[in-house]
């Protein structure tokens, strides 16, 4: 769910205040936290995938179909987590999209395009309703 305009303005004000108060701390929070989290998530997913393979093989050796199915489901879930975590991870030296100034500018431009479309739509509705 996207933030309202008021919430976005409040968030931007808090970010500016944080940068003004302690720029070193703000820059430390900006990049490494998300990258570390997503890298850890991918590693956990790979480990879970290996556990799923072990469960699948154990089910085949013990001739327990349910264990093999559980192993396959664990492998599938971990593969999805690894792929989604890998796609979301910012590249080394890259800023997260939410904190980048050009991303904010693009969001404002998109918002202004949506505002214009909404204004045109409203104008057409008013013109049709008035006839």
Burial environment of residue 14 by CB neighbours within 10 A (0 to 12, 13 to 18, 19 or more): exposed
Higher pLDDT, 90 or 69: 69
Which of 81, 84, 95 has the alpha carbon at shortest distance from 35?
95
Q: What percent of the chain has pLDDT over 90?
A: 24
Q: The whole model's pTM is what?
A: 0.45
Residue-level pLDDT at 102: 52
- Cα separation, 35 vs 83, in Å, equals 14
């Amino acid at each position: 769910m996207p933030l309202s305009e008021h919430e976005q303005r409040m968030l931007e004000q808090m970010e500016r205040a944080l940068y003004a108060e302690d720029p070193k701390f703000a820059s430390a929070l900006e990049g490494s936290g998300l990258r570390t989290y997503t890298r850890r998530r991918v590693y956990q997913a790979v480990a879970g995938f290996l556990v799923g393979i072990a469960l699948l093989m154990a089910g085949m050796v013990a001739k327990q179909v349910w264990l093999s199915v559980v192993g396959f489901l664990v492998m599938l879930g971990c593969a999805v987590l690894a792929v989604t975590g890998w796609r979301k991870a910012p590249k080394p030296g890259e800023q997260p999209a939410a904190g980048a100034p050009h991303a904010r500018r693009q969001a404002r431009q998109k918002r202004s395009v949506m505002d214009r479309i909404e204004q045109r739509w409203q104008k057409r509705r008013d013109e049709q309703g008035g006839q």
